[in-house]
Amino acid sequence: MADPGAASAPKPSSSVKLVLLGEAAVGKSSLVMRFVNNDFQENKEPTIGAAFLTQKCNLPTRTIKFEIWDTAGQERFASLAPMYYRNAQAALVVYDITKASSLIKAQHWVAELQRQASPGIVIALVGNKFDLASTTAPSDATSNGDDADATEEQDEEGAETDARKVPTKTAKAYADEEGLLFFETSAKTGMNVTEVFTAIANAIPETSLKGSRGVGGQTSLGRQEDSARVNLTSGRDAAGPNGGCAC
């Protein structure tokens, strides 16, 4: 999916730190696996501690390189997340549509992010395991190439006949109220997974990709992040012209 090397057109490229949060076993790591490797593992063992992965997302006008922090859901002492969401520009808060309590936990994470994380962080609420829900999902849900709102027109009619415990409407209403992006996904089938990340990439404000965090209504002074960043691996050959370029 990422196409290193071939796409040498000088599109502006920026890194976005993204953190995944959510209750244990809702499929956080599986979502990342699907996004990064287009792969799915049944009965994946729980993440210990955390995992760090990267993946590029090509937008028409720029390239976003996601630096993804996948945290352990069964975190025992509530001390790990703060080291991940610090300076994160995006968060993916995941719940399991077949488990009502996981949405409560997700709401708890959203509240914590709003209280503690960088101002202006883009938060996406994601209901995973859509494949376990009734098969009455509209067939275009998986093929919808457009990003956001792929699930919006989805129905609620099949909600009682399947393993689904969290109605789309409930979660969507909460997401709207809090100003979150909202998707239902299946890491197993791949449904909506890329769409989530693309929507996040599109929602990251230009300003937070530049030198400043773009907060408080201040505009960035026009210095681009990439022009200030020092590349540690370009050393030794000293004053090369690519000294500070992170592209």
β-pair partners for 50: 71
Which residue number, 87 or 161, has a Cβ lying nearer to another protein? Answer: 87
Considering only 12, 24, 25, 53, the residue that binds another protein (CB under 8 A) is 53
| Minimum distance from residue 170 beta carbon to another protein (Å) | 28
* Piece of the chain touching another protein by CB under 8 A; list 84-92, 93-101, 139-147, 170-178: 84-92
* Cβ-Cβ contacts under 8 Å for 49 (sequence gap 6 or more): 72, 80
**Residue 65, SS3 per DSSP:** strand
Q: Determine contact, residues 60/10, Cβ cutoff 8 Å.
A: no
Q: State which amino acid sits at residue 159.
A: A
Considering only 11, 37, 41, 46, the residue that binds another protein (CB under 8 A) is 37
182 binds another protein (CB under 8 A): no
Q: Determine contact, residues 46/74, Cβ cutoff 8 Å.
A: yes
18 binds another protein (CB under 8 A): no
58 binds another protein (CB under 8 A): no
Q: Determine contact, residues 31/130, Cβ cutoff 8 Å.
A: no
Which residue number, 74 or 161, has a Cβ lying nearer to another protein? Answer: 74
77 binds another protein (CB under 8 A): yes
For residues 64, 65, 69 and 70, what is the CA-based torsion angle, rounded to 10 degrees?
Answer: 80
- When computed from its CA atoms, the radius of gyration of the chain, rounded to whole angstroms, is 19
Considering only 87, 152, 155, 169, the residue that binds another protein (CB under 8 A) is 87
| Minimum distance from residue 81 beta carbon to another protein (Å) | 10
Considering only 76, 139, 157, 179, the residue that binds another protein (CB under 8 A) is 76
| Minimum distance from residue 155 beta carbon to another protein (Å) | 36
User: Cα separation of 87 and 121, whole Å?
Assistant: 9
User: Cα separation of 183 and 157, whole Å?
Assistant: 18
59 binds another protein (CB under 8 A): no
Of 216-245, binders to another protein (CB under 8 A) are 216, 218-221, 223, 225, 227-236, 238-244
Q: Determine contact, residues 128/193, Cβ cutoff 8 Å.
A: no
Q: Determine contact, residues 122/85, Cβ cutoff 8 Å.
A: no
Q: Which residues of the chain form contacts with another protein (CB under 8 A)? A: 2, 4-5, 32, 36-37, 48-56, 65, 67, 69, 72, 76-80, 82-84, 86-87, 116, 118-119, 211-216, 218-221, 223, 225, 227-236, 238-244, 246-247
